[in-house]
């Protein structure tokens, strides 16, 4: 199997994590009380461990694991983040960087890590290991040696900085940013084109009309090409999962049947990149925590081999990913007790937590239901990383589970990059846009055809009775009584049912570049994003699905 | 808490002065044409076209339930990495260097924990992350 495309992804992500570790260690050395930085440093180490393990870089994975252990100690308060800890962690980061550089040059990424692993281990849970006193003493006698090697490492670091600067320009991340800019510029060109079209209409020059038409055609081609450049099949990241699941299964002594669906679906590269890491965590959790051992499964009447399914679907403007296992499931009550024991939930709140909320407790940093730390999926720390990366993409995550039957985690992500056809409609003084793909049809409805069904106004369309809503009410504008003989109505779908929406006027159709609301308005109901019109004004794009 | 000196942007809501860590501010612009932001809570003034990017504007005084200042004429565009948001304020005084000190509830705002001393007076430091969390909580409150 060709691993090169995943390797590039891995390198760019790992390099980013390592850079983050460098920053955080230095910051923590200045202020050791910053809990958030402690948490994210821990997560960086955890992510590198996971990614490296899935790529088969065992030295890197082991080193990151030991660094993660040390950070866990810091997090628990067993280890103080003093100068020595920072030195050791930075040394670890330098080695990680060294490994990444080696991999970049098509090396194996291997490194003799035994020395640093030993020194990292000494810090972990010192209270539990009396024997470490001897180890520490023997380390003392080694001190001169360490000084010497530190001198060497200064040189290494200096040369490392230079190397990194050079490589920085070659990373995938930069390329993706460039592509993003390309898309942005294309989007703005299309916005500008509409402006030109508006101006051209007033002038009536045949030559101008001709060149504007030509421009439109070229822009359409450009748009198509730019979008295609960013598309990659889901397989680009999904192909390495079967191997990963197999290795995980072997390591944990479980039998796993792994099914992937939807690998042919093409997705925006930015989404794929952002998805890789969360998916690895979710699959690890499914195998390690979700599935039972073969013997436990047989004795509860299940087939010996557990099934893990990864399914990708496109739902109009969204991507829905489901990771499902038929394992032991999660017990909401046990999750709540575990959260109480970790002081994440107050005991008196026990009764007011629904099962769905209980499942989401697993997404709180520091939460874990694993009874012991394992090499495979550690402490369930993955869930908070998964959730925060999904949220930062403007998506959401939900968890369903039945004890004894299994767990399903669904991740929904919006398509980040979008130029879509929008119908602009007026509603009192407002203009808003509605994606054309959401609209079944538009019509000028004769007001005599409107009848009452209880309190609900309805009208008949092809023998179907369709309820009527007012856009004014949806967007919170004052209701205007309609005066004309006919009323502009668009027919759309709300929660799977046809609905007519009364608007004040149809303004027209346009191709618009949709920009996300971003933080903090990202979860505003009904609104899908903003768009800028040819005259520079900003309109809201409504998502009728959320009405 | 370590006492390190950092730079702050000092601005005012009505008479009261507040500070924002300078690195959280991308640009200060004049209050300009804005477009309506229906559905969003009423403490948003609207959305502006900021160099081709739609950026929602929060009327900070209205949000903190101080008098809404429709004459607020400065807009602080927040760091794009933190949020897609701009804060409408009354006026901007300038940039100062100072040391952060703890001062819960300073400036009459819940959730303020720190202040910075400028010319002998304590000025409440707004924490953007906390503000964003509150805004996210209330996003569908209209």
Q: Which residues of A touch B56 (CB under 8 A)?
A: 517, 521
Instruction: Give me the pLDDT at residue A380, please.
Output: 52
Fold annotation for B5-137: OB fold (Dihydrolipoamide Acetyltransferase, E2P) (2.40.50)
Higher local confidence (pLDDT), B97 or A144: B97
Q: Which residues of A touch B53 (CB under 8 A)?
A: 515
Q: What percentage of chain A exceeds 90 in pLDDT?
A: 11
- Domain encompassing residue A189: 175-232
- Angle A252-A256-A261 (CA atoms, 0-180°, nearest 5)? 135
- Among A167-171, A180-184, A202-206, which is the least confidently predicted range? A167-171
**Interface contact flag, B56 A525, Cβ < 8 Å:** no
> Is pLDDT at A423 greater than 60 in this prediction?
yes
Angstrom distance (rounded) from CA A545 to CA A525 = 10
Are residues A504 and A378 located together in one domain of the fold?
no
Higher local confidence (pLDDT), A241 or A166: A241
Are residues A253 and A379 located together in one domain of the fold?
yes
Instruction: Give me the pLDDT at residue A500, please.
Output: 92
Angstrom distance (rounded) from CA A396 to CA A392 = 9
End-to-end CA distance of chain A: 46
Residue A250: other Cβ atoms inside 10 A: 11
ipTM confidence score: 0.86
Are residues A202 and A98 located together in one domain of the fold?
no
- What does the block give as tokens for A134? 């001897």
Are residues A113 and A160 located together in one domain of the fold?
yes
Residue A6: other Cβ atoms inside 10 A: 18
Q: What's the pLDDT band for A378 if we cut at 50, 70, 90? A: very low
Task: Give the nearest chain A residue to B131 (CA atoms).
Answer: A520
Instruction: Give me the pLDDT at residue A163, please.
Output: 43
Angstrom distance (rounded) from CA A286 to CA A284 = 5
Task: Give the nearest chain B residue to A430 (CA atoms).
Answer: B36
CA A415 to chain centre: 12
> Is pLDDT at A138 greater than 50 in this prediction?
no
Give mean pLDDT, residues A227-242.
Answer: 79
Q: What percentage of chain A exceeds 70 in pLDDT?
A: 81
Angstrom distance (rounded) from CA B74 to CA B92 = 7
Is B142 at the interface with chain A, CB within 8 A?
yes
φ, ψ dihedrals at A153, nearest 5°: -70, -25
Domain count of chain A?
Answer: 4
How far A476 CA lies from chain B's nearest CA (Å)? 6
CA A475 to chain centre: 29
Instruction: Give me the pLDDT at residue B25, please.
Output: 93
Instruction: Give me the pLDDT at residue A159, please.
Output: 44
Angstrom distance (rounded) from CA B52 to CA B87 = 18
Q: What does pLDDT average to over chain A?
A: 78
**Interface contact flag, B82 A516, Cβ < 8 Å:** no
Tokens 């999660």 belong to A330
Q: Which residues of B touch A20 (CB under 8 A)?
A: none
Instruction: Give me the pLDDT at residue A377, please.
Output: 42
Instruction: Give me the pLDDT at residue A166, please.
Output: 43
Residue A472: which H helix or E strand, with range? helix A471-475
- Among A28-37, A55-64, A173-182, B111-120, which is the least confidently predicted range? A173-182
Q: What's the pLDDT band for A225 if we cut at 50, 70, 90? A: confident
- What does the block give as tokens for A414? 């919006």
Are residues A325 and A454 located together in one domain of the fold?
no
pLDDT in tens, A268-299: 776 787 788 889 889 988 998 889 999 999 99
Instruction: Give me the pLDDT at residue A150, please.
Output: 40
Give mean pLDDT, residues A434-454.
Answer: 83
- Among A1-10, A250-259, B15-24, B69-78, which is the least confidently predicted range? A1-10
Q: What's the pLDDT band for A301 if we cut at 50, 70, 90? A: very high
Give mean pLDDT, residues A249-275.
Answer: 83
Last residue of a domain, one of A170, A194, A222: A170
Distances (CA, A) of B34 to A209, A339, A396, A525, B83: 32, 46, 30, 21, 18
Are residues A442 and A510 located together in one domain of the fold?
yes
Are residues A406 and A430 located together in one domain of the fold?
no
Instruction: Give me the pLDDT at residue A310, please.
Output: 95
Angstrom distance (rounded) from CA A343 to CA A331 = 19
Max mean pLDDT range (A155-164, A415-424, B79-88): B79-88
Using alpha carbons, select from B140, B54, B64 the residue that is nearest to residue B108: B64
Beta-strand (E) ranges in A447-504?
A: 450-453, 456-461, 464-470, 486-494, 497-502
**Nearest residue, CB atoms, A524 vs list B2, B40, B82:** B40
CATH of the domain at A329: 3.30.565.10
Helix ranges, A286-423 (H): 294-299, 332-341, 355-360, 382-392
- Among A142-146, A444-448, B50-54, which is the least confidently predicted range? A142-146
Task: Give the nearest chain A residue to B42 (CA atoms).
Answer: A476
Are residues A340 and A447 located together in one domain of the fold?
no
Are residues A129 and A162 located together in one domain of the fold?
yes
How far A498 CA lies from chain B's nearest CA (Å)? 22
Instruction: Give me the pLDDT at residue A410, please.
Output: 92
> Is pLDDT at B73 greater than 80 in this prediction?
yes
Task: Give the nearest chain B residue to A35 (CA atoms).
Answer: B1
Are residues A365 and A483 located together in one domain of the fold?
no
B79 exposure class (CB count in 10 Å sphere: 0-12, 13-18, 19+) = middle
Are residues A42 and A55 located together in one domain of the fold?
yes
Residue length, chain A? 547
Are residues A85 and A192 located together in one domain of the fold?
no
**Interface contact flag, B39 A519, Cβ < 8 Å:** no
Size of interface A-B (CB pairs under 8 A): 77
Last residue of a domain, one of A374, A391, A414: A414
Q: What does pLDDT average to over chain B?
A: 83
| DSSP 8-state code for residue A292 | P
pLDDT in tens, A74-124: 888 888 887 788 888 888 988 998 899 888 888 887 788 888 888 888 876
Last residue of a domain, one of A170, A202, A219: A170
End-to-end CA distance of chain B: 38
- What does the block give as tokens for A372? 């012991």
Q: Which residues of B touch A475 (CB under 8 A)?
A: 38-39
Instruction: Give me the pLDDT at residue A323, please.
Output: 94
């Amino acid at each position: 199997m060709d691993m090169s495309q995943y390797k590039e992804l891995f390198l760019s992500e790992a390099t980013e994590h390592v850079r983050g570790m460098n920053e955080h260690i230095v910051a923590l050395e200045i202020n050791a009380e910053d809990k958030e930085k402690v948490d994210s440093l821990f997560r960086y180490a955890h992510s590198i461990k996971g990614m490296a393990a899935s790529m088969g870089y065992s030295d890197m994975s082991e080193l990151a694991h030991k660094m993660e252990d040390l950070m866990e100690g810091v997090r628990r308060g067993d280890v103080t983040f003093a100068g020595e800890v920072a030195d050791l962690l930075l040394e670890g980061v330098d080695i990680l960087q060294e490994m990444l550089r080696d991999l970049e040059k098509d090396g194996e990424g291997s490194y003799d890590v035994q020395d640093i692993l030993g020194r990292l281990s000494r810090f972990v849970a010192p209270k539990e290991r009396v024997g470490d006193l001897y180890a520490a003493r023997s380390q003392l006698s080694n001190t001169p040696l360490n000084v010497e090697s530190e001198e060497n490492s200064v040189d290494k670091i200096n040369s490392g900085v230079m190397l990194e600067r050079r490589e920085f320009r070659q990373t995938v991340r930069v390329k993706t940013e460039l592509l993003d800019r390309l898309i942005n510029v294309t989007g703005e060109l299309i916005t500008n084109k509409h402006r030109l079209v508006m101006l051209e209409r007033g002038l009536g020059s045949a030559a101008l009309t001709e060149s504007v038409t030509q421009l439109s055609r070229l822009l359409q081609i450009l748009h198509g090409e730019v979008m295609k450049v960013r598309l990659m099949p889901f397989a680009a990241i999904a192909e390495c999962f079967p191997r990963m699941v197999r290795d995980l299964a072997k390591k944990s002594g479980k039998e796993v049947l792994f099914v992937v669906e939807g690998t042919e679906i093409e997705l925006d590269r930015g989404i794929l990149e952002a998805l890789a890491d969360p998916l690895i965590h979710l699959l690890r959790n499914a195998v390690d925590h979700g599935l039972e051992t073969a013997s436990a499964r047989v004795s509860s009447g299940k087939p010996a081999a557990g099934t893990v399914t990864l399914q990708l679907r496109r739902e109009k403007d969204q991507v829905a990913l489901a990771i499902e296992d038929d394992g032991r499931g999660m017990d909401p009550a046990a999750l709540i007790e575990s959260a109480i024991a970790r002081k994440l939930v107050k005991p008196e709140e026990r009764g007011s937590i629904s099962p769905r909320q209980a499942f989401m407790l697993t997404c709180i940093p520091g939460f874990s239901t694993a009874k012991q730390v394992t090499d495979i999926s550690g402490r369930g720390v993955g869930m908070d990383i998964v959730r925060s990366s999904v949220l930062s993409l403007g998506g959401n995550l939900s968890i369903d589970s039945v004890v004894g039957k299994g767990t399903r985690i669904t991740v929904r992500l919006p398509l980040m990059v979008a130029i879509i056809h929008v119908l602009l409609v007026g509603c009192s003084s407002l203009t808003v846009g509605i994606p054309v793909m959401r609209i079944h049809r538009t019509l000028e409805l004769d007001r005599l055809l409107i009848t009452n069904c209880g309190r609900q106004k309805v009208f008949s369309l092809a023998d179907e009775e369709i309820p009527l809503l007012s856009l004014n009410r949806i967007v919170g504008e004052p209701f205007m009584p309609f005066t004309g003989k006919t009323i502009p109505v668009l027919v759309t779908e709300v929660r799977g049912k046809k609905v007519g929406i009364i608007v004040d006027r149809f303004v027209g159709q346009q191709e618009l570049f949709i920009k996300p609301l971003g933080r903090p308005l990202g979860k505003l109901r009904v609104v899908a994003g903003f768009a800028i019109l040819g005259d520079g004004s900003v309109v809201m794009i409504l998502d009728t699905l959320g009405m | 808490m370590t006492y390190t000196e950092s730079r702050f942007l000092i601005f005012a809501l009505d008479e009261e002065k507040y500070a924002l860590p300078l690195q959280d501010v991308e640009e200060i612009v004049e209050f300009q044409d804005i477009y309506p932001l229906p559905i969003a809570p009423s403490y948003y003034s609207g959305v502006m076209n900021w160099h081709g990017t739609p950026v929602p504007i929060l009327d900070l005084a209205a949000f903190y339930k101080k008098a809404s200042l429709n004459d607020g004429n400065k807009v602080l565009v927040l760091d794009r990495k933190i949020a897609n948001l701009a804060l409408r304020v009354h006026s901007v005084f300038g940039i100062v260097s100072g040391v952060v000190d703890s001062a819960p509830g300073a400036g009459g705002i819940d959730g303020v924990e720190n202040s910075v001393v400028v010319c002998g007076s304590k000025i409440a430091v707004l924490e953007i992350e906390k503000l964003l969390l509150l805004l996210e909580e209330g996003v569908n409150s209209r």
